[in-house]
Amino acid sequence: MLSICVFASGRGSNLQALLDAIDADRVDARVVLVISNKSAAGAMETATARGIPAVHTSDTHFASESLYTDHLLKLLQEHHCDFIVLAGYLKKIPAEIIQRFSQRIINIHPALLPSFGGKGLYGHHVHEAVLAYGCKISGATVHMVDLEYDTGAPILQKCVPVLEEDTPGTLAERVLKVEHEILPLAVQLFAEQRVTIEGHRAIITAKGNRP
Ligand code: GAR
């Protein structure tokens, strides 16, 4: 069973969707730690209410990136985390952690990557950009995390229509619904060891066909 650390900066609806899927036995994993750079994040409240250790920490609390990295690694070790989910986490994860958790760290992004990703494109900025461009579809992507913003191999994507009357808010709501579907599904693919990375492709093995 995967022991997951969820990093989240905000409201925490993706964390909640993952916990709901775990409770419903749709995901064979447990969330053992939640880390946030915002002490008042909804995700922190959700974790605390369920007795999941919730730690507020940020690079700004440390004199150097390496001290911050050591602190994060210690937390991940203490809680026996073997998988990381970024669920609305708006800070960069230190490179050493990405390397140590190679192929075991995923992110949810509210657009169809590689469009509308990268530094500065997060949350409502993404939906504003999609509408300003005049796209007719948008969606969500769960992808591997590598050393850049939003550039890792896609694992699952799902699209939604963009409607003529959409505002960033209404589009965000429609996209969020599919985020809540595909994030737990992606975690379960890892729990079943059905994801293999080849180059920039995440190959999903059919159920029951695992070598
Ligand atoms: C989600 O829409 C997620 O895709 C987005 O932040 C929101 C967090 O919502 N993440 C990014 O934009 C990262 N590039 P939540 O706190 O309710 O899960």
Looking up residue 63, the CATH number of its domain turns out to be 3.40.50.170
Task: Please tell me whether residues 115 and 83 are part of one structural domain.
Answer: no
**Average of per-residue pLDDT across 33-57:** 97
My answer on whether omega of the bond before 114 falls inside 30° of 0, hence cis, is yes
Task: Please tell me whether residues 96 and 157 are part of one structural domain.
Answer: no
| DSSP β-ladder status, 2-7 and 83-86 | parallel
**Average of per-residue pLDDT across 57-64:** 94
Question: What is residue 187's predicted lDDT score, i.e. its pLDDT?
Answer: 98
Residues in the chain: 211
Task: Please tell me whether residues 44 and 78 are part of one structural domain.
Answer: yes
Task: Please tell me whether residues 82 and 128 are part of one structural domain.
Answer: no
Task: Please tell me whether residues 115 and 63 are part of one structural domain.
Answer: no
The residue segments making up the domain with residue 38 are 1-101
Instruction: Find the 69 Cα to ligand 1 centroid distance in Å.
Output: 23
Examine the residue annotation and report whether 71 is marked as an active-site residue of this protein: no
Instruction: Find the 111 Cα to ligand 1 centroid distance in Å.
Output: 10
Give the SS3 label for residue 7.
Answer: strand
CA angle 94, 45, 98 (to 5 degrees): 15
Query: What is the b/e burial string over 32-45, where b = at least 16 CB atoms within 10 angstroms of the residue's CB?
Result: bbbbbbbeebbbbe
Contact 72, 35 (CB under 8 A): yes
Q: Is the pLDDT of residue 211 over 60?
A: no
> How many CB atoms sit inside 10 A of residue 151's CB?
15
Residue nearest to atom 8 of ligand 1 (CA): 88
Task: Please tell me whether residues 133 and 209 are part of one structural domain.
Answer: yes
108, 119, 170, 181, best to mutate for ligand 1 pocket (most atoms within 8 Å of CB): 108
Contact 54, 48 (CB under 8 A): yes
Question: What is residue 209's predicted lDDT score, i.e. its pLDDT?
Answer: 67
**Average of per-residue pLDDT across 127-143:** 98
Task: Please tell me whether residues 3 and 85 are part of one structural domain.
Answer: yes
Task: Please tell me whether residues 49 and 127 are part of one structural domain.
Answer: no
Domain count for the chain, please give it. 2
**Average of per-residue pLDDT across 17-44:** 97
Q: Is the pLDDT of residue 77 over 90?
A: yes
**Single residue among 101, 123, 139 that ends a domain in this structure:** 101
Task: Please tell me whether residues 95 and 169 are part of one structural domain.
Answer: no
Task: Please tell me whether residues 206 and 136 are part of one structural domain.
Answer: yes
CA distance 125 to 128: 5
CA distance 29 to 38: 25
**Single residue among 101, 123, 155 that ends a domain in this structure:** 101
Report the percent of the chain where pLDDT is more than 70: 99
Tell me phi and psi for residue 83, to 5 degrees: -155, 145
**Single residue among 82, 101, 120 that ends a domain in this structure:** 101
| DSSP β-ladder status, 137-144 and 105-109 | antiparallel
**Average of per-residue pLDDT across 19-23:** 98
pTM given for the model:
0.96
End-to-end CA distance of the chain: 18
Task: Please tell me whether residues 96 and 117 are part of one structural domain.
Answer: no
* Bridge partners, residue 187, by sequence: none
CA distance 12 to 89: 10
CA distance 207 to 114: 27
Helices 13-23 & 168-191 angle (0-180, nearest 10)? 40
Q: Is the pLDDT of residue 39 over 70?
A: yes
